[in-house]
Amino acid sequence: MPSRHQFAPSILRAYDVRGVYGDTLTRDDARALGAALASEAMERGGSTVVLGRDGRASSPTLSEAVAEGLASTGATVHDIGRGPTPMLYYASHSLRADAAIMVTGSHNPPDYNGFKMMLGEQALMGEEIQALGRRAAEGDFRRGRGTVGVVDLVDAYCARLHEGFHIESDLSCAWDPGHGAVAAVLDRVLSRLPGAHLCLNNTVDPTFPAHHPDPGDPDNLAQLIETVRARQLDMGFAFDGDGDRLGVVDRHGRIVWPDQLLVLLADKVLRAYPGQTVIADVKASQMVFDEIAVRGGKPLMWKTGHSLIKAKMRETGAPLAGEMSGHIFFADRWPGFDDALYAALRLIEVLDEARLPLDRMVDALPVTVATPEIRIECADETKFDAVARIAGMLKEARADVVDIDGVRVNTPDGWWLLRASNTQPALVARCEGGSAAALDRLKRNLSDALDALDLDATSPYLMPAAAE
């Protein structure tokens, strides 16, 4: 290990490390990050680290470099190989590891890659990630001769996914891992599930030839929607590149938005944990918070980000949480982390018990008029400042603003949101109104804010309803 290492500041993000491989992210970064993480674990009295990787072209190289860095401190490294990020979380829990690190670019473009990390049972975020950067810059690494051993946990992980389920319905489902890491385990998961199952894009391919592995973008669900309709299936599931985010469509090919999914899942959870907290992120519909309260839960709006949500779950004891991006977190019969395969099985269980099709259950929810997530390109170097400028303008206008994460602006028409993405060079926006006309007014409010920043606001989701 070199005595000191400096990371590009842009890759140390709010809840992971992420950059463009060969540009802002290199083998040297991976090696130094491994050494910094293991050194931190050792200072806390630990010495075992679990390592995993997704299916990106650069992941084997980066994983090898991370292992070198980890072992250079004297750590014992358990390499679980290729698979979805939730398999790493499972490995960390089952092996009682002191730290864990996943090489993954998640849903970013193919030239990106990065790392998600844990110390003990907690996902690293914010200041803890910055502290690893400072440790590397100071060369504050432990020195030793560690070991790296391969541990095959795929069968154990797939068995744990099915633990506690008694599903009897013969539902027909389409499954689309989008050539991401879920494709490494999907066949084994489905072999234990009753019903008829059709897999799309079920090989790991780092070029993502069918579509980008991001179920948060409706365009990436087109193939799944067409398949469900053409084959007359009951539903379809889609996954992001590392398998911690879920997309769902019903038998008519309609998208079931993650906030709707959270309410359906909350019904059963709140029967087991009446009066407990259910967390949704700042992008979620107001319907979620209202319906959680109706079902006897305590709704809590919180910041977007898997590490931030998990930390809030531990703080509040919440048995369930969800994000509009498709992360669903269970601390009920599950260790509290986000696993899209597990969330899919929980949804199938809900339908099995209700004996109702998914579309009927969704149609019973209050109707909302909203845009999906809207992404506006904005450089990493300027995106947070851009939101701060908007926040200042709103403060001067004495607007009703929730500012726990960006700005969520409440008006008589509904609300609109603008926040900086922590994973991409972009701003994230969303609007929800009480009617189509109200939504159009909210879109205009958002467009005016973007115009004030001289940003491109030509998204089709910002066009008036009459023009859509």
pLDDT single digits (tens) 191-246: 999 999 999 999 999 999 999 999 999 999 999 999 999 999 999 999 999 999 99
pLDDT at position 468 is: 45
**pLDDT above 70 as % of the chain:** 98
Residues forming the active site = 106
pLDDT at position 458 is: 66
Q: Which CATH number fits domain 9-152: 3.40.120.10, 3.30.1280.10, 3.40.50.300, 3.30.360.10?
A: 3.40.120.10
Hey, where are the domains in the chain? 9-152, 156-252, 258-336, 369-467
Confidence of residue 422 (pLDDT cuts 50, 70, 90): confident
pTM: 0.93
> Residue 25 CB: number of other CB atoms within 10 A?
26
Is residue 434's pLDDT more than 60?
yes
Is residue 466's pLDDT more than 60?
no
CATH architecture of 369-467: 2-Layer Sandwich (3.30)
Are domains 156-252 and 369-467 of this chain identical in fold?
Answer: no
pLDDT at position 467 is: 46
Q: How many angstroms separate the CA atoms of 31 and 68, rounded?
A: 6
Q: How many angstroms separate the CA atoms of 54 and 181, rounded?
A: 5
Spatial contact of 386 and 406, defined as CB atoms under 8 Å apart: no
Q: Which of 225-229, 380-384, 432-436 has the highest mean pLDDT?
A: 225-229
156-252 adopts what CATH topology? Alpha-D-Glucose-1,6-Bisphosphate; Chain A, domain 3 (3.40.120)
Q: How many angstroms separate the CA atoms of 433 and 413, rounded?
A: 5
Cα Rg of the chain, angstroms: 22
Q: How far out from the chain centre does Cα 205 lie?
A: 20
Q: How many angstroms separate the CA atoms of 188 and 43, rounded?
A: 39
- Closest of 115, 22, 23 to residue 67, by C-alpha: 115
pLDDT at position 372 is: 85
Q: If you average pLDDT over every residue of the chain, what do you get?
A: 94
Q: What is the pLDDT of residues 66-112, one digit of tens each?
A: 999 999 999 999 999 999 999 999 999 999 999 999 999 998 899 99
Q: Which CATH class is domain 258-336?
A: alpha beta
Confidence of residue 18 (pLDDT cuts 50, 70, 90): very high
pLDDT at position 423 is: 74
Is residue 273's pLDDT more than 70?
yes
